[in-house]
Amino acid sequence: MIRVAAVGDLHYDRHCRGRWAHEFELLNESADLFLMAGDLTQIGTAEEMEALASDLRHCSIPKVAVLGNHDLETDLQDTVTDILEKAGVVVLEGEALELDIAGEALGIAGTMGFGGGFWGASAAEFGEPEMKNFTIRTRRMTASLETALRSLQTKYRIVLMHYSPIRETLVGEPPEIFPFLGSFHFANAVDAIGANYIFHAHAHRGKEMGSTPGGIPVRNVALPVIREPYRIYSLGDEGTLV
């Protein structure tokens, strides 16, 4: 059994150094893998990410992250990614990572994701250039996720995102903003290829549990949803959550 700790929307600012250092250190005994689903900072400054990186250095298990929209606000994504990587975090964007966890081969495909909406209320690549570019970004990020997921040759496969791939875990947010919280294209891609489950964040007022149309479990691990510095999930021998 593989123990996966996950959280998103930590929203560290420069005053947060030390906030979760003890809790992250406890993961060394209680989990096998730590996933972070974006919005790790408030506005993506080096100072904010350094505060988080300082706390993450207390955690020695494998750590994997994607960035979120807040982490891109200051346009320093290369800088904040470098800071995370120096703290031992692998940052994915349209990429895959294979790990040996407790003697089992586990793969992670990661992307920040993007918006666009869901069946019956989704953006289309039509009209103004701005609308076309919005939709093209979603399709491009979906394609990179597909490529990453297909490359995994592991027993277990996890998808890590910031934006949501399904509507179900957004319930509680105003329906009017659903198109800005995720896109069904990502769920379709994962269903077509297969994975054991998907972690995302971004929807602070959403709910934790859902599944893709193909039945793949989805977990919204935004801090305001799970209300703790991470939640630990167990991946059973058959690849199911227990």
pTM: 0.95
Fold of 2-235: Purple Acid Phosphatase; chain A, domain 2 (3.60.21)
Question: For 53-79, how does the pLDDT look when each residue is reduced to its tens digit (9 = 90+)?
Answer: 999 999 999 999 999 999 999 999 999
Spans of all domains in the chain: 2-235
The per-residue pLDDT string of the chain (242 residues; one tens digit each, 9 = 90 and over) reads 899 999 999 999 999 999 999 999 999 999 999 999 999 999 999 999 999 999 999 999 999 999 999 999 999 999 999 999 999 999 999 999 999 998 999 999 999 999 999 987 777 777 888 889 989 999 999 999 999 999 999 999 999 999 999 999 999 999 999 999 999 999 999 999 999 999 999 999 999 999 999 999 999 999 999 999 999 999 876 555 55
CA 109 to CA 147: how far, in whole Å? 9
In sequence order, what are the residues at sequence separation of 6 or more whose Cβ sits closer than 8 angstroms to the Cβ of residue 56? 24, 63, 84, 87, 88, 89
pLDDT for the residue 131: 86
Cross-strand pairs, 34: 5, 63
Nearest Cα residue to 229 out of 11, 12, 18, 20:
20
